[in-house]
Every structure is written in C-alpha cells, then in structure tokens.
Amino acid sequence: MRIRVMEIGVGAFLLAGMVALLMLALNVSGLNLERKNTYKVYARFENIGGLTERSKVTMSGVLIGQVSDIRLDQDALQALVEMEIHEEVDFLSIDSSASILTAGLLGEKYIGVVVGAEEEYLQDGDFFEDTQSALVLEDLIGKFLFNEVSE
C-alpha cells in the first residue's frame, strides 16, 4: 500500500511539473488563451527591422494590442503592419503616431503608440499616418564609421 501511495505522489508531482512547463512555454511564447475583443489598425513603415507577428503594441509602456500581420504593400513599396488593438482602447486619435522601438540594446522589437490631440478617433481599418521606422543598429554603426573616415 505504501508503494502505491508513493507512485501516485510521484505521478501527481510529474503532472504538476508538466502543467507548470506548459504554462511557462505559453507565457514565454506570447500566446494568450483568453481572447479579447479587438479592432484592426494599420501602419506603413520603410523598415520594420526585425518586427514580427505577435509583437507587442504598447502605449506608455502598457500593452494595448499586438501585431497580427506583416506584409509588403506593393503600391507604396513599404511594409504594411496590421495591429489588433484591444477594444477598450478606443481613444487613439487620428493623428496618433506609431514607432518601432527596441526593448533594450539588442532586445525584441515592439510598436509604441503616442496619442495625438485630435478629437476624431481611429476606427477599425484606419491607418496611422505618422510612423517612425525601426532604428537599425548596423546602419548606425555604418554611418558612424563612414563619418569618421571622411573627416
């Protein structure tokens, strides 16, 4: 009987470990099991510099959505980024700006939103008119080296 209790205890411990590992994997990957109501807005960038789908969209450091799709706009020849913004964030004015930012020096890319002053708000399917592309570290180093040599 004691061996049976020990086997059940070890089995329960392994099951709890697997559940904890699954929760950790979901948390790290950015997947979310609960689905919030969202609306879609778009932005065009000249260079997305490593931005990926499921990247965060933040405002003042607070998560307000995520990137849902990235594709090339063949008319403008720029990256077209589709973002799903949480429904309760319905106060993004039409003159708001979207910038691709980096978490840390070499960290992940995300989109930071700064709200404008207009009284009209972005609706489902609208575009951010004011965007700032990613700052690519390799380009900065190249410019720095080129300027040093030419002086």
Query: Into how many domains does the chain fold?
Result: 2
Burial 90-114 (b: 16+ CB within 10 A, else e): eebebebebbbbbeeeeeebbbbbe
Q: What is the pLDDT along the chain (151 residues), one digit of tens a residue?
A: 778 888 999 999 999 999 999 988 877 766 666 667 899 999 999 999 889 999 999 999 999 999 999 999 999 899 999 999 999 999 999 999 999 998 877 788 999 999 999 999 999 999 999 999 887 777 778 888 887 554 4
Q: Indicate if 61 and 123 belong to the same structural domain.
A: yes
Q: Indicate if 83 and 67 belong to the same structural domain.
A: yes
Task: Provide the 3-class DSSP secondary structure of residue 112.
Answer: strand
Q: Indicate if 121 and 65 belong to the same structural domain.
A: yes
Q: Indicate if 21 and 95 belong to the same structural domain.
A: no
Cα–Cα distance for residue pair 83/20, rounded to 1 Å: 30
Distance of CA 142 to the CA centre of its chain: 27
Domain assignment of residue 148, yes or no: no
Q: Indicate if 104 and 117 belong to the same structural domain.
A: yes
Q: Indicate if 22 and 43 belong to the same structural domain.
A: no
Q: Do the Cβ atoms of 23 and 63 come closer than 8 Å?
A: no
Task: Provide the 3-class DSSP secondary structure of residue 117.
Answer: coil
Domain with 105, as residue range(s), is 38-141
Task: Provide the 3-class DSSP secondary structure of residue 93.
Answer: strand
Q: Which residue has the tokens 């594709």?
A: 71
Domain assignment of residue 110, yes or no: yes
**Parallel, antiparallel, or unpaired for β 62-73 and 127-128?**
unpaired
Q: Indicate if 48 and 109 belong to the same structural domain.
A: yes
Domain assignment of residue 146, yes or no: no
